[in-house]
Structure 1
Amino acid sequence: RDGVIYTPELTNCLDGITRKTIFTLAKEHGLTVIEKRITRDEVLIADEAFFTGTAAEVTPIRELDSRPIGAGTRGPITEMLQADYFDVVHGRHEKFSEWVTLVKD
């Protein structure tokens, strides 16, 4: 909301590479990342929400308890970060090319 991404503090989540990558990409777009305890009510009134993780990569959260989050679809911030993330991991994001070692067939 308003250029701010709220994410759970590290008491309940892994301080992983995917999470750190998304923080960096968000900041590249001028977004602010705030780590805090997030309540269920805050999730329900969010404009959009997404998970990050090794397996999840960047996955939109469309609903919680059968109630839509935002428009109930992948939001524009999620879409942007998802696209950037895939560009990074596939070696297409020149600025972060040192993060990736490409394996050729």
Structure 2
Amino acid sequence: PQRRMHHSQIDMRAKLGGMYVQSAIAGMEARILGYDEGVFLNLEGRVAEGPGENIFIVKNGVLKTNDNSESILEGITRSSLLEIASHLGFSTEIGPITKEEFFTADEAFFCGTAVEVTPIVKITDGSIPLQPLQEYTLGSGSPGKITIKMRQTYQEIVRGQIKKFRKWLTLVND
């Protein structure tokens, strides 16, 4: 598995060309092994992010995502979803996500400009060399209610259907 560089080595807030190479390799590695996407761990072995996405988990109705100390790019979509969660009345937490929290989450999703809000329903852990792969199914194995609501609301905002968030949009004339 790929590991993200530590935030003390490079400013993770910067979109640097070299970081895209690591992300591309991780994505290719995941697809070669038959998975949809990979997940980076940080140097401490905690969940960092996807190759081009931030990660949210949901446990007991609380949305949780990492902060910059976990070697992530604090994405615009991530920030937007934190505002959307507040708008919807969901509790949020920002802090480290352990592998155990990730594997036992009720729900999880990737978020980013390209993927918007993409549910995660199954995780295969291959982080321990020479150990059998462990599979984890989140919740019922289908996207959870909070993930669905976050995705639906995000898409409504992108389409300009929620007046409060229209300031996020830039309209383009034909």
Q: Output the TM-score relative to the length of structure 2.
A: 0.57
Q: Between the two structures, name the one with larger relative contact order (CA 8 Å, sep ≥ 6).
A: 1
The residue aligned with 1:57 is 116
Aligned length: 105
Distance 2:83 2:170 in 1: 19
Aligned 8 A contact 2:60 2:106 in 1: no
**Structure 2: tracts of 5 or more residues without a match:** 1-58, 125-134
**CA deviation after TM superposition for structure 1 residue 103, in Å:** 2.5
1:6 aligns with 2:64: yes
Equivalent residue letter for 1:74: P
Distance 2:173 2:120 in 1: 33
Equivalent residue letter for 2:168: W
CA shift digits 1:2-29 (9 cap, x unpaired): 3311112223221121001100010111
CA shift digits 1:37-72 (9 cap, x unpaired): 111111111110001111111000111113211111
The residue aligned with 1:16 is 75
2:140 to 71, 76, 80: 71
Kindly name which structure, 1 or 2, has the bigger radius of gyration based on alpha carbons: 2
Question: Structure 1 stretches (4+) deviating beyond 2 angstroms?
Answer: 102-105
| More moved, 86-95 vs 5-14 | 5-14
Q: Output the TM-score relative to the length of structure 1.
A: 0.91
Distance 1:28 1:76 in 2: 16
Identity within the alignment, %: 40
**Structure 1: tracts of 5 or more residues without a match:** none
Aligned 8 A contact 1:91 1:102 in 2: no
